Amino acid sequence: MKGRGLHIYALVYLVFLYAPIVLLPLFAFNDGTTIAFPLQGFTLDWFRALVTTPALHEATLNSLIIAISTAVLSTCLGLFAARAATRYRFPAKPVIVGFIMLPLVLPEIIVAISLLVVMLQLGLSLSIWTIIAGHTLICVPFAIAILQGSFSNMDRSLEEASVDLGETPLTTFRLVTLPLVMPGIIASLLICFTISLDEFIIAFFLSGNEPTLPVYLWGQLRFPARLPVIMALGTILVGLSVGLLITAEFFRRRGLRRAGLPDSGGFL
Amino acid sequence: MSQSSGFSKALRTDAGKGLILISPTALFAILLLAAPLTSIVLLSFWTQNFLTIDRTFTLANYSEALTDPLYRSLMLRSVKISLSVTAVTVLLAFPIAYFVSFHVRPSRKSLWLFLITIPFWTSYLIRVFLWRVILAYDGPVNGTLIGLGVIDEPLSWILYNSNAVVITLAHAFAPFAILPIFVSLEKIDRSFLEAAQDLGETKLMTFFRVTLPLAVPGVLAAALIVMIPTVGDYVTPRLVGGSGGTMIANMIYAQIFDLNDRPMGATLAVGGMIIVGSIALALVLLTRRWTRARS
């Protein structure tokens, strides 16, 4: 009886969670210029308008460059830190690791404003690179969390065996360690890419005159006439994120299977 | 010679290897986090003098931030909104976490968690904006309620005020609350519950006297994870908050970009950090006391 009540609550809660995402495609295909009910009819005009907006293409290109660079940089930095944290004992380890993980518990606006102030005081001009730096800072903790999981699930005797059989530490890393943590690396790349692609505040503060997709979107929200186009864009973005997530989840599960571990939940 | 061999010996120890390996990431964090944080703290003690910055040390910004009713009410409101969001999010999340942990078959659990986390990974801006659509005067919530005959005219208190900010943020941070509570519920040894019931407790009393106390660390962790980012949220108050729902982040932005008073912006940012830090510290201490009293 109690279980049934909870079940209904869970379903209602899922409706609450999915409400905005379900509305998105409704308005994206709706043949009306206002974002309101009742719906008018089916149209693909808003998607067509996306194709003919050069500013949008520039913003998308900026976002992709930033997201790919951020994903690669954060995963590399995450690999160093995760390997060091799982494999070695060294002085001040909790302090160093804790400090690297700090952006996870810092409101993003603080990260954004402190980076901005430094850039402005140093007289550096804002560009794609300043955004990449900011995004890498907030993505590294996620990369470390994912990679630490893969490194600690790995059987260390495999590496020892490789060294005993005459491989150098470097070739051992390349031939044994890397393939074993590869699912973690791919998951980390995908997660960091997704975070960077969606991140707004840091990009908003640091973008200068090279807007990312969310910054462009933010600018467009002021113009009611542009809203249906934004809905179309949002639909594509949501589809993309969900696709990336399912891929990341697939690799995470494969990694667990490869390590012979039971599935114990999601990313976080 | 002896020095260099000592150095290379140090490199071969675990400590040396670990430090070398973590140094790129640590240096990156020092350069892009420690240095900027230090500089905004420094900047907050300076003042803006028209176009130039006066570098004499002063607490003027802080006393202005604490005495000016505008800043005070903004900070107070940020804390109030953030605490309401935390309470609402955690209360709504607990039954879900409980459901997934206790009533879902183990093989299905990761699917449920995946379903819960998907909306969180989609564009934050668009999600917040859609809440403006949902809560609008002619939006689906009002439409449905009028259609059902619950209300006669559209509700106006659900958009462009702090209620809207609370609803929208409670949605945006739902997974952050569900996951830690779920983890703490999963850790509960199910035989405790059987023991309580064998000893004559009802199911309800077992929940209140065994399950809930054991889940408290997870609930407090959830509160912490929701509270920290919501204090500094910029997008939600801006999009759905109206004038009555502005928060500290909006003021920081205005100081830096519109009023061109970077030191004041820095002061408010440091103030925000102090607020977040002290609430977080209180929650951490509470968790510690709770777990120590239990063990």
Over chain A, what is the mean pLDDT? 84
The predicted-structure confidence for A43-102, as pLDDT tens digits, reads as follows 787 888 888 888 888 999 999 999 999 999 999 999 999 989 888 888 888 899 999 998
pLDDT confidence tier of residue A244, bands split at 50, 70 and 90: confident
Give the domain CATH number at B267: 1.10.3720.10
| Domain assignment present for B164 | yes
Mean pLDDT along residues B96-115: 86
Does residue B28 sit in the same domain as residue B92? no
Query: What's residue A250's pLDDT?
Result: 79
B-chain residues near A109 (CB < 8 A): 232-234, 249, 252-253, 269, 272
pLDDT surpasses 60 at B269 = yes
B257 vs A260 pLDDT, higher one: B257
The Cα A251–Cα A262 span in angstroms is 14
Q: Which residues of B touch A23 (CB under 8 A)?
A: 130, 133-134, 140
- The complex's ipTM? 0.81
Binning pLDDT at 50, 70 and 90, where does residue A259 land? Answer: low
To test the contact with chain A by mutation, choose from B25, B135, B260 the residue with the greatest count of A C-beta atoms within 10 A, namely: B25
Average model confidence (pLDDT) across chain B: 85
Residue B128, in any domain of the structure: yes
Q: Is the pLDDT of residue B190 over 90?
A: no
Does residue B284 sit within a domain? yes
Residues spanned by the domain of B18: 1-44
Considering only CA atoms, which of B89, B104, B218 is closest in space to residue A3? Answer: B104
Judged by a CB distance cut-off of 8 A, whether residue A107 touches chain B is yes
Please list every residue in chain B whose beta carbon sits closer than 8 Å to the beta carbon of residue A114.
Answer: 33, 36-37, 39-40, 269
pLDDT, tens digit (0-9, with 9 covering 90-100), for A168-193 = 888 888 888 888 888 889 889 988 99
pLDDT for the residue A61: 93
Considering the domain architecture, whether residues B184 and B89 belong to the same structural domain is answered as yes
**Would you call B33 and A36 a contact, using CB atoms and an 8 Å cutoff?**
no
**Do the chains contact at B262 and A117, CB–CB below 8 Å?**
yes
Indicate the pLDDT class of residue A132, thresholds 50, 70 and 90: very high
Predicted confidence at residue A265, as pLDDT, reads 47
Residue B131, phi-psi category: left (phi > 0), alpha (psi -120 to 50), beta (remainder): alpha
Does any domain span residue B52? no
A79-82 — which CB contacts under 8 Å span 24+ positions? A79/A143, A79/A147, A79/A185, A80/B21, A80/B22, A80/B23, A80/B24, A80/B25, A81/A140, A81/A144, A81/B21, A81/B22, A81/B25, A81/B26, A82/A143, A82/A144, A82/A147, A82/A148, A82/A150, A82/A151
Residue A266, pLDDT above cutoff 50: no
Residue B16 lies in a domain: yes
Is B110 in Cβ contact with A21 (below 8 Å)?
Answer: no
Question: Given an 8 Å threshold on Cβ–Cβ distance, is B22 in contact with A96?
Answer: yes
Question: A247 vs chain B: nearest CA distance in angstroms?
Answer: 12
Residue of A nearest to B203 (CA): A2
Distance CA A244, CA A193 (A): 9
Share of chain A above pLDDT 70, in %: 94
Residues B191 and B283 in one domain: yes
Instruction: Say what percent of chain B tops pLDDT 70.
Output: 95
Average pLDDT over residues A122-136: 88
Q: For residues B66 and B116, state if they share a domain.
A: yes
Please, what are the domains in chain A?
A: 60-259 (1.10.3720.10)
Does pLDDT of B24 surpass 60?
yes
Residues B143 and B22 in one domain: no
Which chain B residue has the Cα nearest residue A264? B110
Record: contact A84-B228, CB cut-off 8 A: no
B257 to chain A: closest CA residue: A205
**Same-domain status, B168 and B39:** no
What pLDDT does residue B7 have?
65
Q: Which of B21, B33, B35 is closest, CB to CB, to A103? A: B33
Read off the pLDDT band of B10 (50, 70, 90): low
Count structural domains, chain B.
2
Of the pLDDT bands very low, low, confident and very high (cuts 50, 70, 90), residue A261 is low
B206: pLDDT strictly greater than 80: yes
B190 shares its domain with B230: yes
Distance from CA of B215 to the nearest CA of A (A): 18
| Residue B211 counted as domain residue | yes
Q: How large is the average pLDDT for residues B22-50?
A: 88
Q: Does A263 touch chain B if contact means CB atoms closer than 8 Å?
A: yes
pLDDT at B4 over 70: no
B229 found inside a domain: yes
Q: B283 and B257 in one domain?
A: yes
- SS3 label, residue B48: strand
Q: Which of A17, A130, A244 to mutate to test the interface with B (most CBs of B within 10 A)?
A: A17
Q: Residue B110 and residue A266: Cβ atoms within 8 Å?
A: yes
Q: What is the pLDDT of residue A1?
A: 42
CB of A23 within 8 Å of a chain B CB? The answer is: yes
How confident is the model at residue A3, as a pLDDT? 67
Nearest CA in chain B to A13: B96
Do B28 and B138 lie in a common domain?
no
Do residue A245 and residue B33 have CB atoms under 8 angstroms apart? no
The pLDDT of residue A268 is above 50? no
Alpha helices by DSSP H, listed for chain A, are 2-28, 45-51, 54-87, 93-101, 108-122, 128-153, 156-164, 169-172, 178-198, 201-206, 213-220, 227-259
- Burial (CB < 10 A; 0-12, 13-18, 19+), residue A51, is exposed
Q: Out of A20, A99, A134, name the one closest to residue B131 (CB).
A: A20
Identify the pLDDT of residue B187.
Answer: 87
Give pLDDT, residue A191.
Answer: 86
Residue in the block written with tokens 């973690």: A184
User: Shortest Cα distance from B171 to chain A (angstroms)?
Assistant: 6
- The stretch B98-118 carries a mean pLDDT of 85
pLDDT of residue A262 exceeding 80: no
> What's the token pair of residue A32?
């009306």
Answer for the pair B269, A201: CB distance below 8 angstroms, yes or no: no
Residues B153 and B277 both lie in one domain: yes
Probe site for chain A from B133, B145, B166, B267 (most A CB atoms < 10 A): B133
Residue B3 lies in a domain: yes
Residue B189, min C-alpha distance to chain A (Å): 16
* Shared-domain flag, residues B284 and B183: yes
Statement to judge: residues B11 and B111 lie in one domain? no
**What is the structure's pLDDT at A37?**
67
